[in-house]
Amino acid sequence: ACGGSTPGAGTASGTSGGTLKLAFLGGISTPDPDTAYDGPELNLVNSAYEGLLDYRAGQAEPELVGRLATQWKANDDNTEFTFTLREGVTFHDGTAFDAAAVKASFDRRLDVDSGPAYMVKGVKSVKTSGDHEVTITLDAPNAGFLDLLASPFGPKMVSPTALEEHPWTGEEDNWFATHDAGTGPYQYGAFDQGVSYALSAYDGYWGDEPGYTDVDFDVVSNMSTVQLQLEKGEVDGLIGYTDSSAFTTLKSKPNLATYAFPSMQTPTLFVNPQSKELGDDETRTSFVSGIDFAALAQQALGDTGTSTTQVFPENLLPEADNQQKITHDSGALAQLASGKLSGGTISCGYAESSSSAQALCDNVTAMLNSAGIKAESTGYASGTYFPALAKGADGPDITFFSGFPDTANADAWGTVFYTPDGGLDLFGAEVDGVSGLLREAAKTGDTDLYSQVAAKVSESAYWYSVANSKGTAVFQDDVSGVDKAWNPVITGVLQLQTLSPSGS
């Protein structure tokens, strides 16, 4: 009468039954490949769907690898890209994967027109030559196009048959919210929305057979529960979510293995240009230099991050071209406390959903209060965070945001965070010349230009990259392959097919 397994069987250890039981903390969004963006649902989407390209998993230096494409090349001005497609690949519904699927998939992403649609907005045409070759032409040069295809939320290949049978008519009755039609190693199983999600291995997968035949995700709403369940072996693993204290705790448990991988996620300080307290350049610069970011990163992030000296996320640019220009001045805060900032209150805002941002805000607040500067730290629910930041002088004075680039391309960071139209320039701060430099660099991918951007941004003191955040995962000892499954760009997503019961 009911699905699932009997208690205990196949859940406690990987070796026994081939089911991997993972926990999702908190809610997850619809696992539709064209709406899924940066959330945990990518673990589902990226198991069931594949794009043309991917980044090599388990290595910090981003390296493009073929997924459904075996070869690819770009023309000189980055407007035309040709791909040779993998043969013998079938979609889960039995349809064979061929060149026609590429255009159909791109078109669906445009139809849906959700967040990640921008990735294919610049595509002018998709031409097929034969079943297994496509040429994509862009409206304008884009040096980062291949990176877009390799992005964890880049365009995925969707079965044309399914697309025809279930055309996009809006979110209300989206077949793809509960079904999949990809080529990936896993298929969607039973979904109990907001409670549990199941994946099962796809027999006809072209690549290596996944280590577990089934993966179950249970949604748990609080960390302590997951922690207990992990300790008791009721859950095999947790991807992401662990803040530094939970991570430290779990690290000491004998039955568990904890992992911290490099990623491009970079918790960053944003200063409100309209802030009453920090509005003028001198105060702001002095304020930013007064914060001991190395200590802050250590206190707030512990093992889940390392302080950084770079502006853009590490591995995006050559280290030497990417250095922060502001150096720590241990006396600066005391001076501000008795001078410019006496009597004022610095408010630090963070999105409640981000534990690292909260830790940073709480710690910087404590730091400021210790130095004699009144400070408070306010959490905002997701729906009020961005509107609060948009309030100008009435918004918080500073915020921490733990962002990452969509792709391993400097543009995906620079434009998004440092230009008012980019999307995540949270306070809309603008530094003269940066937009122009970034536009130019996007066409060619010239590191020199990015280096100039890094210098300007850093000197403005509107932003400060605090740390290099680690992607975390906690698994039972007997789950292996975790250290080869992580993504160099973002945290919270693993290539599930790489995981296997140790001993097999």
Partner 1 sequence: MPSSTDTEGRTGDPVDAVAAPSSSTVRRRRPKKPTAGTISLGALAVVVLLAVIGPWVSPYATNIPSGEPLLPPLSGGHWLGTDNLGFDVLTRVLAGTRTSLFAAVVVTVASALAGLLIGAVAGFAGGWADAVLMRITDLFLAFPATIVAMAIVAALGPSLRSSMIGIAIVWWPLYARIARGEIRRAAGSLHVEAARIGGTRGRRLMMRHTVPTVLPTVLVTASLDIGGVIMVLASLAFIGLGSPAPSPELGLMASAGLPYVLDSWWIPVMPAIAVAVLSLIFNYLGDALRSVLRAGGA
Partner 2 sequence: MVRFTLSRLGSLVLVLFSLSVLIFVVSRFGGGDPVHAYVGANASPDAMAAARVRLGLDQPVLVQYWDYLTRLVQGDFGLSVSTKRPVSDELAARVPATLELMIATVVLAVLIGLALARAYALRGRAGAVIRFVLFSAASAPSFLIATAGMLIFFAQFGWLPVSGRTSYGASSGLSGMFVLDGLLTGNIPYAFDALKHLVLPAVAASLGPGVALARVLADGLSTSLSSGYARTARSLGETEPQLLRRHGLRNAAGPALSLLGVQIGMMLSSLVVVEEIFSWNGLGQYLVKAIGAADTNSVATISLLLGAVYVVVNTLVDLGLALLDPRVRLS
Question: Which residues form the interface with partner 1 (CB under 8 A)?
Answer: 222-224, 227-228, 243, 245-246, 249, 299, 347, 352, 355, 361-363, 365-366, 369-370, 376-381, 383-384, 388
Report helix, strand or coil for 125: strand
Out of partner 2, partner 1, none, what residue 110 binds, judged by CB under 5 to 8 A for its kind, is none
- 377 or 419, CB closer to partner 1? 377
Buried b (16+ CB within 10 A) or exposed e, 415-446: bbbbbeebeebbbbbbbeebbebbeebbbebe
d(CA 493, CA 472): 10
Min dist CB 383 to partner 2, Å, is 3
Under the criterion CB under 8 A, does residue 167 sit at the interface with partner 2?
Answer: no
Q: Closest distance between partner 2 and the C-beta of residue 230, in Å?
A: 12
Cα gap 306→359, rounded to integer Å? 14
Exposed/middle/buried for 465, CB within 10 Å: 0-12, 13-18, 19+? buried
Bridge-based pairing state of the strands 374-380 and 471-476 = unpaired
User: Quick check: 436 binds partner 2 (CB under 8 A)?
Assistant: no
Q: According to CB under 8 A, which one of 82, 424, 452, 502 is a site residue for partner 2?
A: 424
User: Which listed residue (142, 229, 355, 356) binds partner 2 by CB under 8 A?
Assistant: 229
* 133 alpha-carbon distance from chain centroid: 30
The helix or strand, by DSSP H or E, that contains position 447, with its residue range, turns out to be helix 447-460
By the 8 A CB rule, do 389 and 428 touch? no
**Rounded to whole angstroms, how far apart are CA atoms 379 and 361?**
9
Q: What residues from 28 to 87 belong to the interface with partner 2 (CB under 8 A)?
A: 29-30, 32, 35, 37-38
Candidates 129, 221, 345, 504: give the one binding partner 2 (CB under 8 A): 221
Stretch that binds partner 2, among 113-121, 258-266, 271-279, 317-325 (CB under 8 A): 113-121
Tokens of 54: 């991917």
Interaxial angle between packed helices 293-301 and 355-370, expressed in degrees from 0 to 180 and rounded to the nearest 10: 130
Q: Of partner 1, partner 2, none, which one does residue 393 interact with (CB within 5 to 8 Å by kind)?
A: none
Q: Which stretch binds partner 2 (CB under 8 A): 115-123, 244-252, 304-312, 467-475?
A: 115-123
The Cβ of residue 337 has, within 10 Å, a number of other Cβ atoms equal to: 20
Q: 171 is in the binding site of which of partner 2, partner 1, none (Cβ under 5 to 8 A by kind)? A: partner 2
Interface of this chain with partner 2, residues 367 to 406, rule: CB under 8 A: 381-388, 403, 406
Strands (E), 240-292: 256-261, 266-271
Write down the least CB distance from residue 21 to partner 1, Å.
20
Partner from partner 1, partner 2, none binding residue 243, C-beta < 5-8 Å depending on class: partner 1
Q: Which does residue 403 touch among partner 1, partner 2, none (CB within 5 to 8 A, set by kind)?
A: partner 2
Strands 471-476 and 133-138: unpaired
Site residues, partner 2 (CB under 8 A): 1-7, 27, 29-30, 32, 35, 37-38, 113-118, 171-174, 177, 190, 192-196, 218-222, 224-225, 228-229, 232, 352, 381-388, 403, 406, 416, 421-424
